[in-house]
A and B are shown apart, each in its own frame.
Chain A
Amino acid sequence: MPFIVLDHVSKTYQSNGATTCVLSDVTQHVQEGEFVCLMGPSGSGKSTLLAILGAMSHPSQGRLLIDGIDVYDLADEARADFRREYLGFVFQQHHLMPYLTAVENVMLPLAVLRSPGGYKRQRAMEALYRVGLADKAARLPGQLSGGEQGRLAIARALVNDPPLLLADEPTGALDTHTGSQIMEVLLELGRQGRTVFIVTHNPESAALADRTIHIRDGRIQPPGAAGPGSADSRPSARLIGAPLS
């Protein structure tokens, strides 16, 4: 069974009496360990789809299954627990807490657990080590470079060892070199068997993925529809799943 099942998912918003359809009948399967890129122009519905995948935005229609769990069938509090246990989220702006040190930022998802403080710190240090920031654990985010902040955000997303990593344009605000570093970290996580789903504008980043999904006007584009130079047309060594028509 696919790790992620998006089953006829639609999302509409009501505004001033008008109904706006942001996502229309999206059906996709993503296999466990697959590295998937979602590309599309601004306003195409990328962030909305990522929010739905992140168990944060209830779809107007359809359902989302992750690891066989109907995510939006869960009560609100159970869905919060699900986010903590199954998902790691990397935001475009990183959204680090500027008043917490690097290790404290990484420990944030563990704050609600009853585990001993020493254990949480050890887990956080391990996550920092994986992204190469163990030596900067005591620094505040403001004392880190843009790339280091990105890696710190990834460490925070990893600390719970979630099976699914979601990233919203993780290289969008970074220069090419730093963006490449971040992508390398994400790819490494993918190579380790973690399912990674990223939203990106960058074709070079998308080219590194197992599969690229194109979205336009809230609809998933068929493979090849994005043109001959598009990422999804390139061969991928890790292509496991394929979109449903």
Chain B
Amino acid sequence: MRIRTLAIANLKRRKGKAAFLAAGIALGIGTVVALLGLSGSIRREIGTQLDQFGANIVVVPKSDSLALNYGGVSVSSVALDVQDLTGADARDIRDIPYGNRLSVVAPKLLGSVEIEGRRVLLAGVDFASELQLKRWWRITGDAPQAEHEVLVGYEVAVALGLVQDAAPAAAHQGHGAHASPPGAAHDAGLELRRDRLDIAGAQYRVSGVIAPTAGPEDRMIFASLPHVQALLGKPDQLSLIEISALCKDCPVGDIVAQISTRVPHAKASAVQQTVRAREQAVDRLARFSAAVSGVVLAIGALLIFTTMTGAVMERTREIGVLRALGFRKRHIVVGLMIEVGLISLLGGLVGWGAGTLTSWAALPWFAQTDSAMEFHPWLMPAALGAALLIGVASSLYPIFRAARLDPTQALRAI
């Protein structure tokens, strides 16, 4: 016979109340585990979707001079006397240790050309990767398929008379275009008046016009990368490489560092706006989950406090007898703590199991993802620890009050 024997015997005697208390703890822990599991999966999905939406890393030739502004985002510097990027650099970037995290690598060559008496920025791109990266583009017509086909930005198209200026309506449609399915080129509702352009003395077919984006692409023409390289006399050269990295489990800074090591003559920069937007979106969800978890645990703690207070009051006489028999206050506290601890561990274990099952079952309803629930080995000990902490902390007051009971008063309460 030890104090723990007495505690266990007491639990067996009060199975119903112990089960009720354990159920309360299990409910609280289960809710938190389910919430954490679900919100973790949803956060990952949001992060992945944000990662796939536009570039979050830009690679440019290393330079300390002219600032380059692209897409409204300050990405780096450019200079005329530095080593240009090449196609080999784009391939090397794919070979970094985190290469499997790079969903899109979109190389570009920028140059100025004269078209029908106007200076226009011409961009050579790989249309497959570019359209995957710029999912918000809405195109009237088709994406270029052939060597001599170009995609024209809205302002250039208006200036060259390719389309009629319908900026307000088109702009409105353009803002709503972020919901476009990945890789899809939609008709933006513009009417193409002509589809032929003379660029540097050669004839090109305008396959499509990009609806207004309020970005630099409005003032650009896009053609295939090899063709522009040939046109500008810069074979295999690149001005910059835009990258979309999936930063689910790795910080974007690590990817940037690996690119800088792999291509030392280039400067890789994280597009801070994109990274911060991702962090903010993910952090908001995390904070929301934490707040809801806190409320649930607080309610659970209140339940335990109430139940334990009642249980201790019921046992006033018993505690008085034990004190009269020579139990110290510490012995009373230890005995009651063992009871609460065992109940809490049981509740935590059941809560962890129920929460994990619930989040696994409910995930398809909350997140459009095919990925399976991730199993976190730390979650079970964390759930048990949290259950123990909440159970014991919520019981401290009634337990210490019980231990402080004067044995005479306790026996008089018969």
| Residues of A in contact with B (beta carbons under 8 Å apart) | 51, 54, 56-57, 76-77, 80-85, 87, 89, 91, 93, 95, 97-100, 104, 107-112, 117, 120-121, 124, 156, 160
Contact = CB atoms under 8 A, between A and B. Distances in A.
B325 A109 contact: yes
A99 B12 contact: yes
Contacts of A120: 1
Interface stretch (B285-293, B372-380, B404-412): B404-412
B338 to A, nearest CB: 12
A89 B324 contact: yes
Interface stretch (B35-43, B145-153, B328-336): B328-336
Interface-central residue, B1, B6, B407, by most chain A CB under 10 Å: B1
12 contacts: A54-B324, A56-B324, A56-B406, A56-B411, A80-B323, A95-B321, A99-B9, A100-B9, A108-B1, A109-B325, A111-B331, A112-B328
Given A51-B408, A111-B6, A85 B317 contact: no
Contact of A99 (B13, B321, B328, B414): B13
B326 interface: yes
Interface of B: 1-3, 5-6, 9-10, 12-13, 317-318, 321-331, 406-408, 411, 414
A120 B3 CA distance: 13
A112 B326 contact: yes
Nearest to B324: A89
Contacts of B329: 76-77, 80
Nearest to A112: B331
Contact of A80 (B12, B321, B327, B406): B327
B3 A111 contact: yes
Contact of B406 (A57, A109, A124): A57
B297 to A, nearest CB: 32
A93 B414 contact: yes
Contacts, number: 80
A127 B75 CA distance: 88
User: Taking chain A's interface residues, is the majority helix, strand, or loop, or is none over half, making it mixed?
Assistant: helix
A77 B330 contact: yes
A160 to B, nearest CB: 8
B326 A109 contact: yes
A48 to B, nearest CB: 8
Given A111-B5, A120-B1, A89 B325 contact: yes
A89 B407 CA distance: 12
A87 B326 CA distance: 9
Contacts of B9: 97, 99-100, 104
Contacts of A97: 9, 318, 321
A81 B411 CA distance: 19
Q: Which 6 A-B pairs have the closest CB atoms?
A: A84-B326, A99-B13, A107-B1, A57-B408, A80-B328, A83-B326
Nearest to A159: B325
Contact of B1 (A87, A91, A110): A110
Contacts of A82: 326
Given A51-B408, A91-B411, A111-B6, A104 B1 contact: yes
A45 to B, nearest CB: 13
A121 B411 CA distance: 27
A111 B3 CA distance: 6
Given A77-B330, A108-B325, A56 B408 contact: yes
Contacts of A51: 408
A94 B63 CA distance: 92
B324 to A, nearest CB: 5
Contacts of B408: 51, 56-57
Given A56-B408, A117-B2, A84 B330 contact: no
B353 to A, nearest CB: 29
Nearest to B335: A111
A66 B2 CA distance: 28
Given A80-B328, A83-B326, A108 B406 contact: no
Nearest to A104: B1
Interface-central residue, A54, A82, A121, by most chain B CB under 10 Å: A54
Contacts of B318: 95, 97
Given A111-B6, A112-B3, A81 B406 contact: no
A105 B329 CA distance: 20
A108 B1 CA distance: 7
Contacts of B411: 56, 91, 95
Contacts of A54: 324
A135 B55 CA distance: 85
A48 B328 CA distance: 21
B410 to A, nearest CB: 9
A46 B283 CA distance: 69
Nearest to B3: A111
B10 A99 contact: yes
Nearest to A107: B1
Contacts of A91: 321, 324, 411
A83 B324 contact: yes
A2 to B, nearest CB: 23
